[in-house]
Structure 1
Amino acid sequence: MTRRKVYEGKAKILFEGPEAGTLIQYFKDDATAFNNQKKGVISGKGVLNNRISEYIMTKLEEIGIDTHFIKALNMREQLIKAAEIIPIEIVVRNVTAGSLARRFGVEEGLPLPRPLIEFYLKSDELNDPLVSEEHIFFFQWAEVPEIEEIKIQAYRINDFLSGLFLGAGLKLVDFKIEFGRVYDEEGNSYLIVADEISPDSCRLWDIKTGEKLDKDRFRHDMGGVEEAYQEVARRLGVLMDAGPIASITAKKKTKDNPLGKKVKKTAKAKPDNDNPKKKK
């Protein structure tokens, strides 16, 4: 049966859902960096990100944070609530890295005294510029109460994810989230977490070695991208060493790559499955 494509982004495709107010979100293996200037394919990434994001979104729902996630459909797809996406990316930072370190000429890895929230306009054409709250209000991308609610939720999500990843031996350096509006029968809107939460949208470093286990491996040609994503999934308890997901994502032998050797070694430790993981 042919499905109607609603939207295709850099990492996901949205199809019309089976019921009004729903969409089917398909996770691709495509990878991009530097506002779509660098492109590639990471074998099995879509499968892993789908599972990780599902796991995390479910955990967020359990602590009372509304998300767009409804249920997993298969290894690459999930059923989600349709939402009016606010055109702002919210980045929460705990440690200096990436563009923050470059903008201010500081080294990576410096702990921040408290979590820092930044807002970026979603626009590849403009290279996702950093914007202030005043910009958001002036150009009516979101209302004042919405931004206040977004900040409250962002800090809460950061606290939760930091603990979740710490239990898996990972440091949450920073992450990106998006929010969307949904409407009740009376026409009143409320916010839900949308998009995804995965190694595509988080910087995750091994707590002991500082090894990067996220999309930075693709951004900076470090190699071992598939192995890094698999390791995050294993530590969160959503990827076993055997099974359909493992067989699909096992595209490279660990001996082919320095990270693979480290992953193989650290994977011997039993993952802390009691800690929530990621989802979308």
Structure 2
Amino acid sequence: MTAYQLGPLLYEGKAKRVFQTDQPDLLAVEFKDEATAFNALKKAELAEKGTLNCRISALLFEHLQHSGVPTHYLGVQGRHWMLVRPVRVIPLEVVIRNVAAGSLCKQMPIEPGTPLDPPLLDLYYKDDAYADPFLSEARLERLALVNSEQRLELEALARQVNTVLLELFARIGLQLVDFKLELGFTADGQLVVADEISPDTCRLWDLDVDDDKDRILDKDRFRQDLGGVIEAYGEVLKRVQGVIQGPSMYG
């Protein structure tokens, strides 16, 4: 195993802590057990949540990489640690919606569960102080977070991720309703998928369950006080492990 020493804390978010290491091309990410919703107005500690999200994310990152999608992922260590490449994260939240749900149905006259073909791609400014607002074309241009070429590359990569994940989740009886991505640039300028991909960042419905509450296997169980959050995340991990070997240990 490649040895490294944990360095200072660089960043702490709602679900993860990011640490520097003694290697300039390596960061260590600790997945926390804290659950949050509604811009952290609702909080709880859920034992094993960090471990489940770390393992699910690692397996999905490995599957994406095997499918030709570049990511920051390098491997896992222990139960809730992921090793990644440093990236300059673009302060944009990329949301892809395959089925109408959540906030979309409050903002548009569209029924929950309506298929969206082609999938809807929305961009949001990632800043808690402004409650992650939706960005129009004019607002995105005003912020100058990406140029026109980078935006096209960003959207193409996000849609590639959606295509890969839709196929994977369908194989294990899950509907990928929608999900959010964070993207960033490596030191050599490569655009990669960063952050995590887990039931915290994806809406996932069990295709074999008709009840609109019981079918939920994602963070909406916490948002809606449905209970069974850890059991739902564990079910997602079990199904993903059934088709993807791993995750790989770093080193």
TM-score norm. by structure 2 comes to: 0.91
CA contact (8 A) 1:31 1:39 kept: yes
How far, CA to CA, are the matches of 2:163 and 2:235 in structure 1? 22
Which residue number in structure 1 is paired with residue 14 of structure 2?
10
Give the Cα–Cα distance (whole angstroms) in 2 for the partners of residues 62 and 2 of structure 1: 28
Correspondence for 1:130 = 134
Amino acid at match of 2:151: I
Question: How far does residue 275 in structure 1 lie from its aligned partner after superposition?
Answer: 9.4
Structure 1: gaps of 5 or more residues: 238-270
Structure 1 residue corresponding to 2:98, chosen from 90, 94, 98:
94
CA 66–28 in structure 1, closer or farther in 2 if over 3 Å, else same: same
Which residue in the other structure is 1:112 paired with? Answer: 116
Inter-CA distance 113–276: structure 2 relative to 1 (3 Å threshold): farther
Tell me the equivalent position of 1:200: 200
Residue 27 of structure 1: aligned partner: 31
1:155 aligns with 2:159: yes
Superposed, which structure 2 residues align to 1:256-271 within 5 Å? 271=242
Deviation at 1:274, TM superposition (A): 5.7
Whole-Å separation in 2 of the counterparts to 1:116 and 1:17:
38
Partner amino acid for 1:56?
L
Deviation of 1:75 after TM superposition, in Å, equals: 1.0
CA shift for structure 1 position 195? 0.4
Q: Deviations over 1:2-43 (max 9, x none)?
A: 731010000000001231022100000111111111111222
Could you list the structure 1 runs, at least 4 aligned residues long, displaced by more than 3 angstroms after superposition.
274-277
**Does the 8 A contact of 2:176 with 2:203 survive in 1?**
yes
> Contact 1:92/1:117 (CA < 8 Å) preserved in 2?
yes
Unaligned stretches of 5+ residues in structure 2 = none
Specify the alignment match of 1:68 in structure 2: 72
Q: Which amino acid aligns with 2:19?
A: F
Letter paired with 2:183: F
> In 1, distance between residues paired with 2:156 and 2:110?
28
2:193 partner SS: strand
Distance 2:43 2:111 in 1: 26
Alignment of 1:37-56 (within 5 A): 37-56=41-60
CA distance in 1, matches of 2:245, 2:207: 15
SS in 2 for 1:131: coil
Compared CA separation, residues 180 and 76, structure 1 to 2 (3 A): same
Equivalent-residue separation in structure 2 for 1:23 and 1:275 (angstroms): 24
**Corresponding pairs, count:** 239
33-42 vs 45-54, which moves further: 33-42
* 1:143 counterpart (126, 130, 147): 147
Distance 1:276 1:214 in 2: 22
Pairwise CA distance, 1:106: 3.1
Tell me the equivalent position of 2:83: 79
Q: How does the TM-score come out when normalised to structure 1?
A: 0.82
Q: Secondary structure at the match of 2:138?
A: helix
Structure 2 residue matching 1:125: 3-state secondary structure: helix
Partner of 2:40: 36
Amino acid at match of 2:92: I
Residues 200-247 of structure 1: per-residue CA shift (max 9 Å, x gap): 00000001214000000000101110100000001111xxxxxxxxxx
**CA distance change for structure 1 residues 117 and 35 in 2, over 3 Å: closer, same or farther?**
same
- Say whether the 8 Å CA contact 1:12–1:28 is kept in structure 2: yes
Note the aligned Cα RMSD (angstroms): 1.7
Aligned in 2, Cα 1:274/1:87: closer, same or farther, shift over 3 Å?
closer
Q: Percent identity?
A: 42
